[in-house]
Amino acid sequence: MDFGTQKPFSMRTKTPSRTSDRWKPMRFAICNEIFYSEDQERWTIPSQFAAAAELGFDALEIAPFTLADHVTEITDQQKQEIIKASEESGVEVAGLHWLLVGPEGLHVTAPDAQVRETTAQYMQELVRFGIDIGGSMIVVGSPQQRDLREGVSYEQAWEWFKATMARCGEVGAEADFKVCIEPLAAVTKNNFLHRAEEVLKMTEEIDMPNVGIILDTYSGLKEEDDLPAAIRASKDALFHYHCNDDSGYAPGLGDTDFVPVMEALVDIDYQYFASIEVFHFDRTAMEQGEIGINALRKALRAASTNA
């Protein structure tokens, strides 16, 4: 299937740039699978946006697998529902993450050239979908769909992965839609691109203004010698940030001190989303959301006082 031939859903082909009114000081988002994983029938798209608004979040970050197994199976009606729910709740669409959950057989750095091409085309479709629903970025994590396979060298994977990121960047360029590459810890079953310095090197080689990095507290604490220093070093390319406690729950549900993280984000005048992502779903979505946003607000207040 040629995923690249599908026409965009709507006329939402341009996301405002950082210099427009859309870009404000750091705002808080929450990932929608926290609701979806609790109860798919209860947590419809409108109810997810309404809950995010009730909790005080500025945006909802969407995992495409919560809508369909394949991005091309997401209907125009679903896209309209997202747009309407965002408008009615006042909660923005932050963007997309967990990109390659659902479709089988996709892999960015597979030895098979056809698999790589199919995956690149699929990711370009994800960018188009993100633009269609008013999002501003995609998070490229997906450790099991980028890991080094037998017979593939680090250098080969580097070039293949870089080429796909550039293709995604080209699709999102006119809309200033950000492609955010995520360094992930080895504990996530990742064996390729662990640290910020690796991803920053890749973004420098790609050299596109809308291709940058996302940092993740959970992975960063495990891989970086100094996570706040990595945040500061990523200043010009840091387009998204994931907030999760080292426990795998939301901030405030573990021992992670988010004040140094917020201090680093304040220092670099971070103007994008700090988004709560969790890996454990045995506590309710509303509980994790409420505790999480309160913990981040408290840390941000402390960081701002210390600045």
Instruction: Name the residue type at position 2.
Output: D
Write down the pLDDT at residue 307.
Answer: 66
Scan for tokens 């809309």, then name that residue: 175
Write down the pLDDT at residue 306.
Answer: 79
Token pair recorded at residue 262: 């917020």
Task: Read off the pTM.
Answer: 0.91
- Ranges in the chain, pLDDT < 50: 1-23
Q: What sign does the CA torsion over 42, 46, 48, 52 have?
A: negative
Cα–Cα distances in Å, from 264 out to 27, 194, 259, 267, 306?
Answer: 15, 20, 9, 5, 11
The CATH-assigned architecture of domain 18-306 is Alpha-Beta Barrel (3.20)
Write down the pLDDT at residue 102.
Answer: 82
Contact indicator for 49, 60 with CB cutoff of 8 Å: yes
Write down the pLDDT at residue 17.
Answer: 38
Give the C-alpha separation, 242 to 217, whole Å.
Answer: 6
**3-state class of 92 per DSSP?**
strand
CB count in 10 Å sphere of residue 113 = 9
Write down the pLDDT at residue 1.
Answer: 33
Write down the pLDDT at residue 240.
Answer: 98
**3-state class of 260 per DSSP?**
helix
Write down the pLDDT at residue 4.
Answer: 34
Torsion of CA 134, 245, 210, 230, to 10 degrees: 160
Exposed/middle/buried for 255, CB within 10 Å: 0-12, 13-18, 19+?
exposed
Give the C-alpha separation, 185 to 244, whole Å.
Answer: 13
